[in-house]
C-alpha cells in the first residue's frame, strides 16, 4: 500500500467516527449534579464519597453548573458554577459559605464519573 493511499484512507476513516451528542452529555452531567445535591440533603453516604462532611450538623449544600463543556470526543467534560454551603460549627455557630467550583468529569463505559473537583470561597474567611 502506498503511503499516500494509507494517509487518505486514515483521514477518511477518521471522518466516519461517530459524533457525540454534546448537548445530551451536558444534560447528563447536570442531572448527575442534581442527584449529588440530593444525596447531600439526604445524607446518603452510599451515593457519594463525602461521608465525613455528612456528619456536620444542619448541613446544607447546593450547587449547579452555570457552564458545562464536553469534549468533542464526548469522553471528558469540565463543569463550573456557584455553590452555597452551610453547617453548624463545633461551638453551635452557623457557618455559611458561597463561592465557585470546578469539576472534571470522565466517561467510563458510558457512565460519567467525577475525576475531581475544587472550590473557591467568595469570602476572605469562613
pLDDT in tens, 52-74: 777 889 999 999 999 999 999 99
Measure the CA angle with vertex 41, ends 40 and 42; round to 5°.
90
CATH code: domain of residue 109: 3.10.450.50
Radius of gyration of the chain (CA): 20
Kindly give the parts of the chain with pLDDT less than 70. Answer: 1-19, 47-49, 51, 125-126
Dist. CA 102–CA 80, nearest whole Å: 5
Range of the domain at 46: 21-121
Question: Nearest 5°: phi and psi at 69?
Answer: -115, 120
pLDDT of residue 126: 54
pLDDT of residue 43: 84
Measure the CA angle with vertex 119, ends 38 and 32; round to 5°.
30
Number of structural domains in the chain:
1
Dist. CA 99–CA 83, nearest whole Å: 6
pLDDT of residue 49: 62
* Assigned domain for 11 exists: no
pLDDT of residue 40: 86
pLDDT of residue 24: 92
pLDDT of residue 50: 72
* Assigned domain for 4 exists: no
pTM: 0.68
pLDDT of residue 9: 38
53-90 burial string, b = 16+ CB within 10 Å, else e? ebebeebebebebeebebeeeeeebbbebebebebeee
* Assigned domain for 6 exists: no
Amino acid at each position: 500500500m502506498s503511503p499516500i493511499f494509507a494517509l487518505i484512507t486514515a483521514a477518511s476513516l477518521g471522518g466516519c467516527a461517530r459524533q457525540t451528542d454534546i448537548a445530551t452529555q451536558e444534560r447528563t452531567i447536570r442531572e448527575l449534579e442534581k442527584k449529588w445535591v440530593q444525596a447531600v440533603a439526604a445524607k446518603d453516604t452510599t451515593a457519594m464519597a463525602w461521608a465525613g462532611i455528612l456528619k456536620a450538623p444542619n448541613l446544607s449544600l447546593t450547587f449547579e453548573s452555570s457552564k458545562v463543556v464536553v469534549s468533542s470526543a464526548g469522553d471528558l467534560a469540565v463543569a463550573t458554577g456557584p455553590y452555597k454551603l452551610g453547617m453548624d460549627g463545633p461551638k453551635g455557630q452557623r457557618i455559611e459559605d458561597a463561592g465557585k467550583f470546578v469539576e472534571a468529569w470522565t466517561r467510563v463505559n458510558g457512565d460519567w464519573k467525577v475525576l475531581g473537583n475544587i472550590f473557591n470561597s467568595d469570602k476572605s474567611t469562613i
